[in-house]
Amino acid sequence: MPFPDVDGARRGAADESPWRRSLDGRWRFLLVDRPADAPGGWQEPGFDDGAWRDIDVPGCWTRQGTGDLPHYTNIIMPWPLEPPAPPDPNPTGLHRTTFRVPRAWRGRQVVLHVGGAESLVAVWCNGAFVGMGKDSRLPTELDLTPHLASGPNQLALVVVRYCDATWIEDQDHWWHGGLHRPVHLEARGRHHLADLVVRADLDPRSSVGHLGVHALHGGPGGPPEGWTVRAWVETARGRTVLGPATAAFSRHDRTHPLAELVSAYAHIGPVATAELTGPVDPWSAETPTRYRLLVELVDDAGATTEAVAQWVGFRRVEVRDRRLLINGQPVLVAGVNRHDHHPDTGKTLTVDDLRDDIVAMKRHNVNAVRTAHYPNDHRFLDLCDEYGLYVVAEADVESHARHASLCHDPRYQHAMVERVQRLVQRDRNHACVIAWSLGNESGHGPAHDAAAAWARAADPSRPVQYEGALHEAWGQVGSDRQRLAPPSPSVRLTSDVVCPMYASVDAIVEWARWAEETGLDDRPLILCEYSHAMGNSNGSLHEYWHAFETEAALQGGFVWDWMDQGLRELDEHGREYWAYGGHFGDQPNDANFCINGLVGPDREPHFGLRELMWLARPVWIEGTSRRGRLRVHNRRWFSDLSDLEAHWDLSVDGEVVQRGRAAMPDVGPRSSGMLDLALDAPRPGPGERAVLTVRSRLRRSRPWAPSGHEVAWDQVEVARSRDGRPAPRGSGDPLRVDVDDDGTLLGLRHGQRQLVVGDIVPWLWRAPTDNDGVAQGWMAEVSGVRRRWLEWGLDRLELRRLGYTVRREGDSAVIRVRHELAGAGEITAEHRMTLQVHADGTIGVDHRFRIPDEWDDLPRVGVRFEAPAELAQLRWLGLGPDETYPDRRAAALFGRHGSPVADQYHPFVVPQEHGAHVDTEWFELVDGRGRGLRVELDPAAVVTARPHSDEALTAATTIAELEASAATQVHIDAAVRGLGTGACGPDTAPPYRVGPGRYRLGWTLRSI
C-alpha cells in the first residue's frame, strides 16, 4: 500500500492512504439466469439501472435476498456434467457503481482491486472491457487508466457463479456467488514499487536477524538512472533497530557490447536488494514480536517519491532430522482448519469477525491454522502475525469431484500451478506462514510437482506440503502397509511433511516407529486433518496427543475444523435454526457434513474445544511425594512462566477447605521447577478423597485475553480414605413408592411431592451422534453403527415384564421386577431391578443386565426415569464441569459441580446425544429452595439430566424442531459408548464401546 512519505506509511491503515480509495458500499445490482441474459448495453454509462436493486459490496448475493440461494456439497459438484462445463442456467450478478478520480491522482496509474469474486469476474470501465479473473479466493487487479474520464466514471462488474475454474474450487464448503471481499482503487506513480519481497531470517542460537529486502520497480522503461531504495527496520514505537540501507536497482547495461554480454548473465531485472543484519527479538506464536520495515523509493535528487510499510517477524522454519523446526525447536502443532465463514453473510467477514476467530483460538491454546482449502482473507494473516498463530497457507486448488483425473488434465495444469504461485506472491511476507500447501484432495499429478518446485525456488525459506501426494499410501482402503514404504521421488518432491488426514492413532504410531527404526523416511508427520469435530465428537483426542508427545516424529495436527458452517435462518414458525445442505432446496447436497466445528456458527465453543485446550495447555503440574509440593513443567518452547500465577484450592469430596495463590517458579522453556504451597494437611473422612486443583492464569492482560484468564488446570489427589462410605446426606424423611396392581412403578414421592414421575425403565438407546451415523443425506446409508442399532430395533425395544414380587425383609419392603427387552428378530436382553424401601426413608435400587452376544456394540446400558420440571437444578460429585464421555474426559476435574438442568442442553446444529457425566458418585435434582432428590451411586456411574428426551433428540433435524419435555429426563448408565470420530475418521476405539455381557447399577435415593 503506497504512501507519499514515511510518516504516512508509518501511521497508515488501508483507508488512510491518499492513494487508495474504497469502493465498498451499496452498488446497483441485477441477477439474471445466465450471462447471455444480461440486458444489452448494461455496462454502458448511459444505461438506465433505475429498476435494479441495491446490494452490499462486499457481500454474497446468496445471503442478500436475491432469490439465488446457497448450495452445499462436499465432494460432488452441484451439476451433473463433465469438466470443464459449467451449468446452465448459471446465476449471474451484474454490479454497477460510479466513482470519481481525485485530482491528486492525475498522471498516476489507477488500478482496480477486487479482493474476491465467486467465481468469475469480468470488468468494464465506462463501457470498455478491461479484463477478467477466475480465482475466487485471491485478488483480481486490473488497470483502469486508459478508460478513465474526468467527472463520474462508470464501473460495471459481472460475476458468474460457476465457470470452468469451479472444477478446481470444489472445496467442502458452501457455494455462494458475489463480490465477497473488499473492492478498492489504488493510484500508482509512473515509477512505483510494484512488489516487495521480504525474507526475515533468524539465527536461533544468537538471535541475530537477517533481512533481505527485494524491491521490484514498476513503470515503463525501468527505473531512471540514480533512483534507489532506502530501507530500515524499527520497533512499533519508532526506534530504529536495523539499517538504514540504500540499494540501487539492477540495470541492463547497453553501453558496450561486452558490457551487454555480461549484463545478460548478471542483470536480475529492475530489482533493488537491501540486506540488513543485527540483533532482534524472535517472532513465534508465543512471542509474536513484530517490527516495522519502512521502504522508500528515492529519486535521483534524493526526494522520496513513495513509501511503504511492512510488518515483519524474524524466525526460521526448517525441516530436518524428522522435525519441523521453528527457531530451532520442534514446536507441537495444536492446530485447526479454518474456512472464511459467517452465519449471516456467508463468506464475507469484517476485521472484527476475523479477530474474534483468532482471539477465541488463542484463548483455547490453539497455536496454528491451516487455511482450508484456499487463501483466507488476507487480513486474517495480518492478525495472525500480530496475535501469534502459525499458518499453513493453502492454495485454492481442489478437484475433489474429479480427484483422479483433473490433476492429469493438461487444460488445468497452468491454473493449478498459477494458483500456488499467486498464493506465495500474496502471503510470503507474513511471519505467521510456516508452510505452503499445494491444495487439497486433488489427486497427484504433474501440476503438483511443478507447483512444489516453483514454490521452493521462489521461497526456499518454507517447506511445502500436500496430502494428495500421500493419498494412495494413507487414504485408500486396504493400503495400511503401503505407508510403511520409502516415499517415491515424486512424493518427496511434492511434500516435505507427511501430512495424512484422519489416520488412526495406531497408524501414525506404527509409521513413526517404522521410520525411526529403518531411517527410510526422515520427514515429520503432522496430520493435516484429524479428530473430525462433527456434532458431539473428538473422542480419543487425548490418545492422539499422547502419541504426539511420546513419538519424536509425530508433531501434532489440525483438527477438522474450527467452525460449524451453519447459516442463520428462520423456519415457517419464525423459530431460528442453523441451516445446512438441503435447507435451501439445494440438490444434490451433502446435508450437515458442513457442520463439523469446534465452535458453533455463533462461535459458542463445543466441548471438544475444551479438551483440545487442556491437552495443549502451556503448563503441566503434577504432585510429588510431599503434600503441597508440586512439579511444574513449562511446555512452551520460547517463553518462561513469568506471565502466569497459580490459583489453587484444596477440597475434600468436592467441598473446598482451603484456597490460595502463588507465583509460578522461575522455569524456562521446556524445563521444570518446584512449587511449594502453604497447604494444611487434609483429613478426608470415610470414603472421601482430598484433591488439590491448580489453575494457571494470566497475571496481566494480553491482546487476546484479560488478566485472570485461565490457560491451564491440573488436579492432584493428595489423600484418600479407602474405608467405608461417605456419611449420608439428606433429610431422612421417608420416600413413598407408588405401584399399580400389575407391578408397574408409578413414581416416587416425598409426602405429596413427586420426585420420580412414572416408571424406572431399562434403556439401551441414545439419540445418535453424527459419529454414530450421520442421519441426514446420502451418508445416512453408509456411515456408522446407527444403522445396526435401528436394525436391532434398539429405538423401539418392547419391554416385557416377566416377573414381579413384593415382600418384607426385616424393616424393609422389597420390590423385585424382571424384564425382557425384545428387539428385532426376537433377540432379547434381560433386566432385573430390586427396590428396597428402608426404614430410614431411603430407597436402595439395584439393576442387573444381561446383554446378548448379538448386540456387540450398544449405545448404552442403563435406566431412564423422569423427574418433575420444578427440580430445575442439577448438582453432582464427579467429573465436570463440562459433559464427559469415556473417550473425552481428559480435561475434566473431580469435584462438586452444578448447573440449571436447562443448561445441560447443548445446541448442536443437529440435535443429538449430549450431557453425560461419567464417574459420578452422587447427584441431586433440587428446586430453588434446595429441596428435591438425591441419588448416591455405588459403583460410580454415568449420569445425564437434561430437558429433552432421546425420542425428541432423535427426531429433530434442527434446533428449531426440538421441543423440551414436560419433565427432566434422567439417565443412569452402567456404560455408555464413547464418541469417536466415525463420521469422518476412526470410529470409537474398542475400549470405549459397549459390548455384550453382564452389567450392574446400584444407587440409593434420598429426599433432601
| Catalytically active residues, by annotation | 441, 529
CA distance 768 to 789: 9
Closest CA to 118 of 85, 90, 146, 147: 90
CA angle centred on 283, ends 281 and 289, rounded to 5°: 65
Q: Are 322 and 522 in contact (CB under 8 A)?
A: yes
CA distance 17 to 2: 7
Q: Strand pairing partners for 860?
A: 976
Hey, is 441 helix, strand or coil?
coil
b/e per residue 791-828 (b: at least 16 CB within 10 A): ebbbbebeeeeeeeeeeeeeebbbbbbbbbbbbeeeeb
- Amino acid letter for position 103: R
Q: Are 491 and 497 in contact (CB under 8 A)?
A: no
* Matching residue, cell 483468532: 358
Give CA separation, 931 vs 793, 877, 926, 972, in Å. 39, 17, 5, 21
Give CA separation, 585 vs 173, 475, 684, 957, 989, in Å. 16, 32, 62, 15, 37
Closest CA to 541 of 891, 990, 917: 891
Hey, is 449 helix, strand or coil?
helix
CA distance 110 to 104: 12
The dihedral of CA 724, 727, 733, 739: what is its sign?
Answer: negative
CA distance 332 to 323: 10
Hey, is 61 helix, strand or coil?
helix
* Matching residue, cell 445471503: 63
Q: Are 717 and 690 in contact (CB under 8 A)?
A: yes
Other Cβ atoms within 10 Å of 479 Cβ, number:
12
Hey, is 138 helix, strand or coil?
coil
b/e per residue 889-928 (b: at least 16 CB within 10 A): bbbbbbbbbeeebeebbbebbbbbbbbbbbbbbbbbbbee
Tell me 78's DSSP state. S
Radius of gyration of the chain (CA): 32
CA distance 658 to 679: 8
Q: Strand pairing partners for 56?
A: 26
Hey, is 970 helix, strand or coil?
strand
E strand map for 23-145: 25-32, 53-57, 59-60, 71-73, 92-100, 109-118, 120-125, 128-133, 140-143
Give CA separation, 989 vs 510, 781, 860, 891, 910, in Å. 16, 22, 15, 19, 23
- Amino acid letter for position 785: V
By the 10 Å C-beta count (0-12 exposed, 13-18 middle, 19+ buried), 113 is classed as middle
Query: Residue length, the chain?
Result: 1008
CA distance 975 to 994: 7
State yes or no: cis peptide before 119, omega within 30 of 0: yes
CA distance 342 to 350: 10
In this structure, what C-alpha cell is assigned to residue 387? 496475535
End-to-end Cα separation, the chain, in angstroms: 69
